[in-house]
Amino acid sequence: MRAVVQRVWEAKVLVGPDTVAEIGKGLLVYLGVAKGDGDKDAGYVADKLSNLRIFADSAGKMNLSVQDVGGSVLLVSNFTLLGDCRKGRRPGFDEAGGPAAAEALYEKVAELMAAENIIVAKGIFGAYMHVSSINDGPVTFLLDSSRLF
Q: Which CATH number covers residue 84? A: 3.50.80.10
Q: Does any domain span residue 35?
A: yes
Number of domains in the chain: 1
Burial class (CB in 10 A: 0-12, 13-18, 19+), 38: middle
pLDDT of residue 33: 98
- Length of the chain in residues, anyone? 149
Which letter does DSSP use for residue 92 in this model? B
Radius of gyration of the chain (CA): 15
pLDDT of residue 149: 85
The dihedral sign for the CA sequence 115, 44, 6, 67: positive
Q: Does any domain span residue 105?
A: yes
What percent of the chain is predicted at pLDDT more than 70?
A: 100
Residue-range definition of the domain harbouring residue 138: 2-144
Q: Does any domain span residue 149?
A: no
For residue range 26-76, what is the model confidence (pLDDT) as tens digits?
999 999 999 999 999 999 999 999 999 999 999 999 999 999 999 999 999
Q: Does any domain span residue 119?
A: yes
Q: What is the pTM (predicted TM-score) of this model? A: 0.97
Question: 38 Cβ partners below 8 Å, 6+ apart?
Answer: 105
Please report, as a single letter, which amino acid is at residue 143.
L
